Amino acid sequence: VDFYHEAIVESKVGLVDLITSKFPSVDIPFSNFVNMCPRLQPRYYTISSSSSVSPNTVSITVSVLDEKMVGGGRFKGVCSNHLANLKRNGSARIFIRPSTFRLPQDTTRPIILIGPGTGIAPMRALLHERAYQKNVLGKEIGKNVLYFGCKKRNVDYLYSNEIEAFKNDGIISDLHLAFSRERRQKVYVQYLLAKNKEEVCDLVLNQGAYIYVCGATAMGQEVRDTLTVVFATYGNMGPAGAREFVGQLQSDRRLVQELWA
């Protein structure tokens, strides 16, 4: 498994590379090669806009994959580069499926948003919706706590102007930022969650907060593990009780995760 990961996955070797450079002695009819190729799968992107604020627009947040390969050449993501190369008023085949992210019906409930990198997409949509609830519908809204992380503030702090404006307008109650490459000691959103353990416990245990997580699978698991430790230690639940509580949060849709590998 380690050899495969290093020689194929990390080196970004595709089927064509296998038979043209890695194993050039392979002799296979082209029709057979085409038949063995898997069909291109759809790419799913979380919507980053609110239908209340922008009823005629659907926004997505895409990281364009374009990396240099070890053996030369470029490794480009099929869908992200297709979207990036679309001309104005161009077209793409898309479909929309229901989102798992739903704001609490009780608008006074706090929400904790954890979305590093392009995981900020649904958090942006939820913040726009909360602002709409408050400013247009005149509803009272609960705290909106945002955890966002990226490498450097001046490189990939996505939607920074909007986020800072939401903070200044009071839509974002607490803003926690983790710029992992700006210090010798790397900082990630799960570290900030652990640091703010008292606030997290109070929001979830006492105020009924909802937690939304979007991003890489590894990050999502680490966030879940961090929450379990926080509830076990500072929520006085113990490890077993905390694991059961986090599972119940998911069952009750108070902990919602959209993750990708």
Q: What is the pLDDT of residues 39-82, one digit of tens each?
A: 889 999 999 999 999 999 999 999 999 988 877 788 899 999 99
Rounded to two decimals, the pTM is 0.89
Q: Contact, 214 vs 257, CB < 8 A?
A: yes
Q: Residue 125: what pLDDT?
A: 97
Confidence category of residue 213, pLDDT binned at 50, 70, 90: very high
- Reported as half-sphere exposure (CB side, CA atoms, 13 A), residue 215 has a value of 25
Q: How far apart are CA 108 and CA 130, in angstroms?
A: 10
Q: Residue 2: what pLDDT?
A: 79
User: How does pLDDT run across 11-21, given as a tens digit for each residue?
Assistant: 888 888 888 88
Q: Residue 128: what pLDDT?
A: 98
Residue 228 or 1, more confident:
228
Q: Residue 69: what pLDDT?
A: 81
Q: Contact, 129 vs 53, CB < 8 A?
A: yes
Lowest mean pLDDT among 70-84, 115-129, 239-253: 70-84
Q: Residue 7: what pLDDT?
A: 81
Work out the mean pLDDT of the chain and round it to a whole number.
92
Residue closest to 235 by CA, chosen among 189, 202, 208:
202
Q: Residue 86: what pLDDT?
A: 94
Q: Is the pLDDT of residue 143 over 70?
A: yes
Q: Residue 1: what pLDDT?
A: 60
